[in-house]
């Protein structure tokens, strides 16, 4: 059987593409890192891949708001043949493929309307904006996984430690109707947990003051998944700030918890 | 002026305005102004013509996030609820990244091409205040909290709902070349140097005069068809090339050194050659003799290079950016960090993959209450601005900031020290040739890449003599553009990998004149066409184009047949390139603007013509004594005060603003442990995802010690950096036993003016003597440990002078060290891990409280400064290496500021554990036992089953002092009495609240 192929886009200030690609390679997939202009000039087609990845970073320096300029490009800039990238994304999803966005990638997915996309028309329904602290912060958090989540990335995971590194990770939902739909359809797949293991609004366990204490979303199909924490930054146990103890607790395993997400995806494709 | 449309976005009332809340609380806290509620907004002034409906659609879709924002066009938000406002605009020519990004969004929205040369969207910030503040208060808030008059324009009062100011640049002048008459008297020569801000002394001006009077030179100039007198460009190029910054004239001076205590006298021909370069050469000889050499490039090129393995090399550089950070802390630090990124990027072939940043900062106390001189910013502002600059510089470039240090001292309030360093990795060979070598042949093209050229960073000779109107570009302060450089860095990595770039260098100080001037020494000549250089705005003089320090630019050497492919690749990365000339073997730097001949300089004269400086140093030992401090102190109180003191307290409020995880390779981060509180002694990174080879990064800086003994200060700083790496599990280099373990050190000297002048600098000779001693220590330590300097920097005039007051920094040296770690899995963190583990002090405590943080608490300096005992240190470090190799340690932490007591407390911070300690009897005062900062010591914890093996290795160099306890308490006994007992939480609270901003 041929290996799963994933596309990791880069350019314009995206900066987590290398570790994102490494995650898939360690999980057993093939990963190509491609500048977005190669896609826009149609030298590379997203349709040759099974998973499309929007990594973290500071696209356009977060000017005009995080990922704002990038999502604007995806929605309005015409590709070489005159199509819009967002239409390609729609087709990609119709083909049963998957999109993940981490941090700046999540912000881009939200701002171009791919998440949560309850209305199904790529209209922006939520946003990610400045943390309540008003500061960029790098810290490790614990996230709980919604047991009825819809993404294969999170299969079998109940709880996960990951680093967050963002200034604009606070989820704000447009209105009560959208919020209800998110809850009813179990789209809030990741939730910040306190030391007691319960969802929390308390800083710093919830690092940004997100509504629903939400750290990640899927769309109703489960094919689009976005999250603020960085699973690609926890591929090895030695990335964890308490790795000496963590390693003892894990019976010496050297795998980071973040790698499991990517392994899950490889498993998913080998079974489908 | 073109007519502009103004688009404003403000947060909806229902949204939490975090920026506004910060302004409100900072205004109250720092300026004692009650602003009431603050509402913030952003205004985009657009001079690109668009129909109203298109403008509205663009604003709605591309500028506004309609879930959280309200949108206003032309009639901007005003409200009776907010009777006062401040509008902050950028002055003409000041970097406006957000405006550029908005312009890119507009081009994407309209599907039109982006024009690098047209600035059509300008951004402003607006703040509305609930309280009716008068103009004076608004001005204070504007200038002291929100902006900086050097880069910003302010409007305040009551907002009319209109914006009229657009910071467009208009320059009227035509490009032309002028000559400067230097066939004049000595006084006139000095006047020229002074008025044009050349910073050249009389000897140097005379050397220039002699060059132009030389008949051979005159004949060559006549043949070339250029004036006999120097052109403005030539004078500027010589001044740049001969600047202290580029030629290190004081580090290369001939120094007469007198020891007034014993009458001894010696002459030193160049500090740099005698101590710094020589020490590395000696080390290299030792390695070569042993048949190994990982030192590939030292003290040449933009950064030093060492070999990691057969496949790759490590390259790194630490720079300073002090003066710009004093003027505009944010812009200065941002430019410092993105600037030093370009050093590894521009070493050898170039295009290194940047792995990490390190930043060491020296500030005045942020709670400084005294008077400020004109032009002097408050230390708190400097600190917050610098930290923000480093945050944006590192985070937006995707480079983790993994290591650093902050030192507070009253004497840094005139000028802060901002040390910025960047390390990266390059493949060892590109196209089968060594990547670290610069190859250039005549005929190779000179390609400028990255940002455009403006008046940025030009020393302002014209500035001071020209009238400034509202459309003159501001050039004294530069603000970097991380996103421009990120695109450039991405592009270079790919271009180098595809073999399109033959060599590269960065454009820093001196701009193209330095970068091309230096590259030209390889093929021995260059031809430059200035008219091909893209400008930010028209109206620059040719010499300005050549010396401008506009940021985010690299100079690339490209074979002619590869130019087209390179340009196509650059287009994909949205990086602007321009072909601005070619290399020759003419022996001359030949610069033209169109047909005009702008400069024609002999490269040998340009690079070797600067006369050697002569300087005098005189040493006299300070008369100091030890204070009497009783031994029955309330040690709980003392330790809590120390933990909360500025030089010891947690840096968490700074550290967490820096991304230290990006790239996914950080193993030992600045803060570790269960709750992420435990401070570490060095950072550890792995180099890739499929092996565990890595590096450790540390620093050593102890300026306080220099008040007693500059030699011991420098030696101690070196030891501090070494023991940081030993503490995390690094290995010392050894030509015999560890031939593959590289160490690569940057030395950074930042000192006050050390050139004697009877009126202006009467203690200049003593300052220079201190500098000499610091160099001697560097030499002794480096050659003893076989740890080489590979690159470095000196900054010689760190004084702030205004109104007859001079604030000089204490002579400061920073050692920034990187060492190879064969297996990062064997590294050690500082936090206690298991109840019942045994606690040892490794190393020896002496009666050395001089210049300690403990004495500082009592306002004392003392005399017994910690001394480095090299032989003992080496023995102890080797034993530590053995114990770590055998995996006997659960934790290790170095003892430094605050001594043993502080180290024990910090070990407890990581893991919800405490410690029971019984101090040994070392025949020392209790104060010294607890707080002396003697070097080469560690606190380690060891599992009980490892006790015999550990003690066997350590012998007489480790002392069992206690046990890790499950109770969260630190208890210290001495002679059967409890002298200190504190809850870990109380210590943590004190330590974590020392630096809140």
Task: Establish if B996 touches chain A: CB-CB under 8 angstroms.
Answer: no
Task: Establish if B538 touches chain A: CB-CB under 8 angstroms.
Answer: no
* B664/A64 CB distance under 8 A: no
Q: Is B343 annotated as a binding residue?
A: yes
Two structure tokens written together for B205: 């001006």
Collapsing DSSP to helix, strand or coil, B869 comes out as: coil
* B16/A26 CB distance under 8 A: no
Q: B554, B552, B572: which is closest to B350 by C-alpha? A: B554
Measured in angstroms, the CA of B737 and the nearest CA of chain A are apart by 28
Measured in angstroms, the CA of A4 and the nearest CA of chain B are apart by 20
Range of the domain at B891: 634-650+828-997
Predicted confidence band of residue A265 (pLDDT cuts 50, 70, 90):
very high
β-pair type (B789-795, B743-750): parallel
- Comparing alpha-carbon positions, the chain B residue that sits nearest to A112 is B61
- Domain positions in chain A are 5-271
The kind and range of the H/E element at B18 are helix B18-31
Strand boundaries in B825-913, DSSP class E? 838-842, 889-894
Rounded distance, CA B853 to CA B899, Å? 9
Q: What angle do CA B481, B799, B756 make, to 5 degrees?
A: 135
Spell out which residues of chain A touch residue B911, defining contact as CB-CB under 8 Å: 242, 245
Closest partner CB to A64 (pick from B98, B481, B890): B98
Q: Is B321 a catalytic residue?
A: yes
Q: Can you give the pLDDT at residue B465?
A: 37
Do B141 and B220 sit in the same domain of this protein? no
Distance set, CA A82 to CA A42, A48, A79, A269, B58 (Å) = 10, 20, 5, 32, 19
**pLDDT over 50 at A58, yes or no:** yes
Rounded distance, CA B829 to CA B728, Å? 6
Express the helix, strand and coil content of chain A in percent, nearest 5 each.
35, 25, 40
Q: Is A35 a catalytic residue?
A: no
Q: Can you give the pLDDT at residue B675?
A: 87
Task: Count structural domains, chain B.
Answer: 3
Other Cβ atoms within 10 Å of B941 Cβ, number: 27
Q: Are B182 and B217 in contact (CB under 8 A)?
A: no
For chain B, list residues with pLDDT below 50: 460-468
Question: What's the start-to-end Cα distance of chain B, in Å?
Answer: 42
SS (HEC) of A249-265: HCCCCCECCCHHHHHHH
Chain A stretch 51-80, residues whose beta carbon is closer than 8 A to a beta carbon of chain B? 56-58, 60-65, 68-69, 72-73, 75-78
* B656/A137 CB distance under 8 A: yes
β-pair type (A5-10, A51-54): parallel
Task: Establish if A84 touches chain B: CB-CB under 8 angstroms.
Answer: no
Q: Can you give the pLDDT at residue A1?
A: 56
Measured in angstroms, the CA of B427 and the nearest CA of chain A are apart by 16
The residue behind tokens 């400097």 is B382
DSSP string, B719-783: HHHHHHHHHTT----BTTTBTT--EEEEEEEE----S-BTTTBTTHHHHHHHHHHHHHHHHHHHH
Rounded distance, CA B806 to CA B309, Å? 50
- Comparing alpha-carbon positions, the chain B residue that sits nearest to A69 is B105
Boundary (domain end) residue, out of B201, B227, B247: B247
Rounded distance, CA A242 to CA B267, Å? 54
Q: What digits encode the pLDDT tens for the residues A194-211? A: 999 999 999 999 999 999
Task: Establish if B202 touches chain A: CB-CB under 8 angstroms.
Answer: no
Spell out which residues of chain B touch residue A60, defining contact as CB-CB under 8 Å: 101, 104-105, 483
Other Cβ atoms within 10 Å of B887 Cβ, number: 14
Q: Is B707 annotated as a binding residue?
A: no
* B104/A172 CB distance under 8 A: no
Higher pLDDT, B197 or A33: A33
Rounded distance, CA B476 to CA B464, Å? 11
| Alpha-carbon torsion angle B331, B335, B337, B341, nearest 10 | 160
Two structure tokens written together for B409: 């001292």
Count Cα neighbours of A63 within 13 Å in the Cβ-side half-sphere: 25
Chain A stretch 175-204, residues whose beta carbon is closer than 8 A to a beta carbon of chain B? none
Q: Is B764 annotated as a binding residue?
A: no
Task: Establish if B62 touches chain A: CB-CB under 8 angstroms.
Answer: yes
Q: What is the DSSP letter of B560?
A: G
- Catalytic annotation, pick one of A19, A125, A168, A232: A232
- Catalytic annotation, pick one of B69, B119, B321, B607: B321
Q: Which CATH number is A5-271 given?
A: 3.40.50.880
- Residue B55 phi/psi, 5° resolution? -60, -45
- Residue B931 phi/psi, 5° resolution? -125, -5
- Catalytic annotation, pick one of B245, B248, B607, B856: B245
Do B964 and B875 sit in the same domain of this protein? yes
Question: What is the model's pTM?
Answer: 0.96
Q: Is B65 annotated as a binding residue?
A: no
Q: Can you give the pLDDT at residue B471?
A: 60
- Whether B948 is covered by a domain: the verdict is yes
Do B832 and B880 sit in the same domain of this protein? yes
Other Cβ atoms within 10 Å of B758 Cβ, number: 7
Rounded distance, CA B301 to CA B341, Å? 14
Task: Establish if B124 touches chain A: CB-CB under 8 angstroms.
Answer: no
Q: Is B747 annotated as a binding residue?
A: yes
Task: Establish if A168 touches chain B: CB-CB under 8 angstroms.
Answer: no
Closest partner CB to A241 (pick from B19, B487, B669): B669
Q: Where are the alpha helices (DSSP H) in B151-213?
A: 186-195, 202-213
* B487/A136 CB distance under 8 A: no
Peptide bond into A116 cis (omega under 30): yes
Other Cβ atoms within 10 Å of B54 Cβ, number: 13
CATH number at residue B865: 3.90.650.10
The residue behind tokens 């947690």 is B650
Q: What is the DSSP letter of A200?
A: -
* B398/A64 CB distance under 8 A: no
- Catalytic annotation, pick one of A125, A189, A214, A230: A230
Q: B438, B431, B474, B480: which is closest to B456 by C-alpha? A: B474
Q: Is B317 annotated as a binding residue?
A: yes
Rounded distance, CA B402 to CA B261, Å? 44
Which of A17, A62, A69 is the mutation pick for testing B, counting most B CBs within 10 A?
A69
Sign of the CA dihedral A38, A42, A45, A46? positive
- Catalytic annotation, pick one of A103, A143, A189, A214: A103
Q: Is B248 a catalytic residue?
A: no
Boundary (domain end) residue, out of B199, B218, B247: B247
Q: B908, B459, B856: which is closest to B674 by C-alpha? A: B908
Express the helix, strand and coil content of chain B in percent, nearest 5 each.
35, 25, 40
Do B936 and B846 sit in the same domain of this protein? yes
Do B839 and B961 sit in the same domain of this protein? yes
- Comparing alpha-carbon positions, the chain B residue that sits nearest to A38 is B572
Do B37 and B114 sit in the same domain of this protein? yes
- Residue B511 phi/psi, 5° resolution? 55, -140
Q: Is B740 annotated as a binding residue?
A: no
Cβ–Cβ pairs < 8 A, chains A and B: 190
- Comparing alpha-carbon positions, the chain B residue that sits nearest to A233 is B664
β-pair type (A98-102, B838-842): unpaired
* B483/A138 CB distance under 8 A: no
Q: Can you give the pLDDT at residue B464?
A: 38
Entry field: residues in chain A:
272
Question: What's the start-to-end Cα distance of chain A, in Å?
Answer: 12
Do B52 and B141 sit in the same domain of this protein? yes
**Which residues, at least 6 apart from A84, have a Cβ–Cβ distance to it below 8 Å?**
A74, A75, A76, A77, A78
Rounded distance, CA B283 to CA B779, Å? 11
The kind and range of the H/E element at A19 are helix A17-27
* B102/A135 CB distance under 8 A: no
Task: Establish if B687 touches chain A: CB-CB under 8 angstroms.
Answer: no
Other Cβ atoms within 10 Å of A179 Cβ, number: 17
Two structure tokens written together for B799: 């004084």
Q: B884, B604, B616: which is closest to B728 by C-alpha? A: B884
Rounded distance, CA B974 to CA B959, Å? 14
Rounded distance, CA A164 to CA A121, Å? 30
The kind and range of the H/E element at B95 are none
Peptide bond into A204 cis (omega under 30): yes
- Residue A170 phi/psi, 5° resolution? -85, 120
Two structure tokens written together for B786: 């076989």
Two structure tokens written together for B704: 């306080």
* A65/B61 CB distance under 8 A: no
Task: Establish if B22 touches chain A: CB-CB under 8 angstroms.
Answer: yes
């Amino acid at each position: 059987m041929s290996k799963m192929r994933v596309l990791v886009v880069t350019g314009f200030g995206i900066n987590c593409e290398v570790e994102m690609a490494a995650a898939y390679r360690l999980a057993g997939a093939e990963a190509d890192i491609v500048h977005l202009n190669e896609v826009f000039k149609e030298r590379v087609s997203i349709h040759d891949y099974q998973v499309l990845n929007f990594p973290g970073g500071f696209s356009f320096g977060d000017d005009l708001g995080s990922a704002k300029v990038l999502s604007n490009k995806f929605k309005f800039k015409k590709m070489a043949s005159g199509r819009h990238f967002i239409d390609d994304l729609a087709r990609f999803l119709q083909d049963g493929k998957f999109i993940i966005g981490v941090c700046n990638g999540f912000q881009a997915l939200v701002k171009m309307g791919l998440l949560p996309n309850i209305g199904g028309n790529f209209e922006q329904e939520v946003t990610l904006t400045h943390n309540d602290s008003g500061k960029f912060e790098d810290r490790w958090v614990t996230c709980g996984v919604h047991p009825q989540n819809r993404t294969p990335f999170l299969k079998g995971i109940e709880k996960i430690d990951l680093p967050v590194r963002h200034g604009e990770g606070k989820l704000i939902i447009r209105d009560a109707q959208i919020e209800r739909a998110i809850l009813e359809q179990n789209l809030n797949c990741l939730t910040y947990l306190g030391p007691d293991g319960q969802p929390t609004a308390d800083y710093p366990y919830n690092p940004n003051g997100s509504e629903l204490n939400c750290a990640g979303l899927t769309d109703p199909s489960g094919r689009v998944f976005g999250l603020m924490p960085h699973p690609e930054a926890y591929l090895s146990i030695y990335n964890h700030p308490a790795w000496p103890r963590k390693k003892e607790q894990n019976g010496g395993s050297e795998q980071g918890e973040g790698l499991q997400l990517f392994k899950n995806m490889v498993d998913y494709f080998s079974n489908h | 002026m073109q007519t502009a449309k103004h688009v404003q976005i403000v947060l909806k009332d229902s949204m939490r305005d975090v920026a506004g809340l910060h302004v409100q609380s900072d205004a109250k806290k720092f300026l004692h102004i009650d602003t009431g509620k603050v509402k913030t907004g952003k205004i985009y002034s657009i001079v690109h013509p668009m129909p109203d409906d298109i403008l509205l659609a663009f604003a709605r879709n591309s500028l506004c996030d309609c879930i959280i924002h309200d949108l206003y066009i032309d009639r901007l938000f005003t409200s009776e609820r907010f009777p006062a406002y401040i509008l902050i605009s950028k002055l003409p020519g000041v970097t406006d990244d957000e405006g550029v990004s908005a312009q890119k969004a507009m081009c994407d929205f309209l599907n039109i091409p982006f024009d690098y040369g047209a600035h059509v969207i300008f951004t402003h910030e607006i703040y509305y205040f609930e309280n009716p503040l008068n103009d004076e208060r608004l001005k204070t808030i504007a200038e002291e909290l929100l902006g900086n008059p050097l880069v910003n324009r302010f409007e305040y009062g009551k907002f009319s709902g209109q914006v009229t100011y657009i910071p467009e640049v208009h320059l009227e002048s035509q490009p032309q070349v002028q000559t400067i008459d230097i066939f004049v008297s000595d006084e006139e020569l000095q006047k020229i140097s002074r008025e044009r801000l050349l910073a050249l002394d009389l000897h140097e001006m005379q050397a220039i005069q002699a060059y132009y009077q030389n008949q051979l030179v005159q004949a060559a100039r006549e043949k070339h068809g250029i004036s006999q007198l120097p052109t403005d460009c030539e004078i500027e190029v010589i001044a740049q090339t001969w600047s202290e910054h580029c030629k290190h004239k004081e580090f290369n001076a001939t120094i007469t050194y007198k020891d007034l205590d014993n009458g001894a006298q010696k002459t030193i021909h160049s500090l740099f050659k005698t101590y710094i370069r020589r020490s590395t050469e000696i080390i290299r000889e030792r390695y070569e003799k042993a048949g190994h050499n990982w030192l590939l490039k030292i003290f040449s090129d933009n950064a030093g290079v060492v070999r990691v393995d057969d496949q790759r090399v490590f390259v790194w550089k630490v720079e300073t950016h002090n003066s710009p950070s004093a003027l505009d802390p944010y812009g200065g630090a941002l430019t410092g960090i993105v600037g030093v990124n370009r050093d590894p990027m521009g070493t050898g072939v170039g295009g290194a993959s940047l792995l990490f940043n390190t930043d060491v900062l020296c500030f005045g106390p942020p709670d400084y209450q005294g008077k400020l001189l004109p032009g002097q910013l408050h230390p708190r502002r400097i600190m917050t601005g610098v930290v923000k600059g480093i945050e944006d510089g590192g985070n937006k470039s995707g480079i983790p900031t993994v290591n650093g240090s902050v030192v507070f001292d009253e004497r840094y309030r005139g000028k802060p020290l901002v040390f910025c360093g960047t390390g990266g990795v390059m493949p060892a060979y590109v196209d089968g040739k060594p990547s670290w070598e610069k190859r250039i042949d005549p005929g190779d093209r000179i390609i400028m890449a990255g940002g455009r050229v403006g008046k940025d960073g030009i020393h302002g000779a014209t500035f001071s003599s020209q009238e400034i109107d509202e459309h003159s570009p501001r050039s004294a302060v530069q603000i970097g553009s991380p996103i421009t450089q990120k695109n450039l860095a991405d592009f270079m990595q790919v271009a180098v990998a595809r073999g399109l770039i033959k060599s590269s260098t960065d454009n820093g100080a001196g701009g193209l004149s330095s970068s091309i001037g230096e590259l030209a020494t390889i093929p021995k000549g260059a031809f430059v066409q200035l008219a091909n250089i893209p400008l930010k705005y028209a109206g620059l003089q040719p010499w300005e184009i050549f010396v401008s320090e506009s940021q985010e630019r690299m100079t690339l050497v490209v074979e002619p047949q590869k130019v087209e492919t390179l340009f196509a690749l650059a287009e994909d990365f949205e990086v602007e390139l321009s072909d601005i000339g070619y290399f020759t073997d003419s022996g001359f730097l030949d610069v033209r603007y169109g047909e005009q001949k702008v400069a024609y300089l002999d490269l040998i004269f340009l690079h070797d013509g600067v006369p050697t400086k002569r300087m005098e140093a005189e040493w006299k030992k300070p008369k100091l004594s030890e204070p009497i401090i009783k031994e029955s102190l309330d040690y709980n109180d003392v330790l809590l005060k120390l933990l909360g003191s500025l030089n010891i307290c947690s840096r968490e409020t700074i550290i967490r603003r820096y991304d230290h995880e990006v790239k996914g390779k950080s193993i030992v981060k600045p803060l570790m442990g269960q709750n992420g509180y435990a401070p570490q002694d060095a950072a550890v990174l792995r180099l890739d995802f499929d092996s565990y080879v890595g590096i450790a990064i540390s620093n050593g800086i102890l300026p306080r010690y220099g008040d007693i003994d500059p030699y011991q200060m420098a030696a101690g700083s070196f030891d501090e950096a070494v023991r940081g790496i030993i503490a995390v599990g690094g290995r010392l280099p050894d030509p015999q036993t560890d031939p593959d373990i590289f160490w690569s050190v940057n030395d950074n000297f930042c000192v006050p003016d050390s050139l004697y002048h009877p009126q202006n600098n009467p203690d200049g000779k003593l300052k220079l003597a201190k500098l000499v001693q610091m160099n001697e220590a560097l030499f002794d330590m480096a050659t003893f440990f076989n740890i080489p300097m590979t690159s470095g920097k000196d900054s010689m005039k760190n004084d702030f002078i205004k109104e007859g007051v001079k604030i000089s920094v204490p002579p400061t040296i920073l050692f920034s060290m990187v060492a190879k770690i064969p297996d990062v899995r064997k590294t050690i963190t500082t936090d206690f891990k298991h109840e019942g583990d045994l606690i040892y002090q490794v190393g020896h405590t002496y009666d050395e409280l001089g210049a300690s943080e403990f004495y500082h608490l009592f306002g004392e300096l003392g005399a017994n400064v910690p001394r480095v005992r090299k032989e003992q240190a080496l023995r102890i470090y080797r034993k530590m290496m053995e114990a770590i190799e055998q995996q006997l340690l659960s934790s290790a932490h170095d003892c430094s500021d605050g001594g043993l007591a502080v180290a024990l407390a910090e070990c407890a911070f990581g893991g919800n554990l405490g410690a029971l300690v019984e101090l040994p009897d070392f025949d020392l005062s209790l104060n010294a036992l607890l707080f002396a900062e003697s070097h080469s010591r560690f606190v380690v914890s060891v599992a009980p089953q490892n006790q015999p093996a550990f003690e066997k290795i350590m012998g007489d160099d480790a002392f069992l002092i206690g046990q890790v306890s499950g109770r969260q308490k630190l208890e210290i006994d001495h002679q059967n009495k409890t002298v200190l007992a504190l809850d870990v939480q109380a210590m943590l609270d004190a330590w974590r609240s020392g630096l809140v901003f």
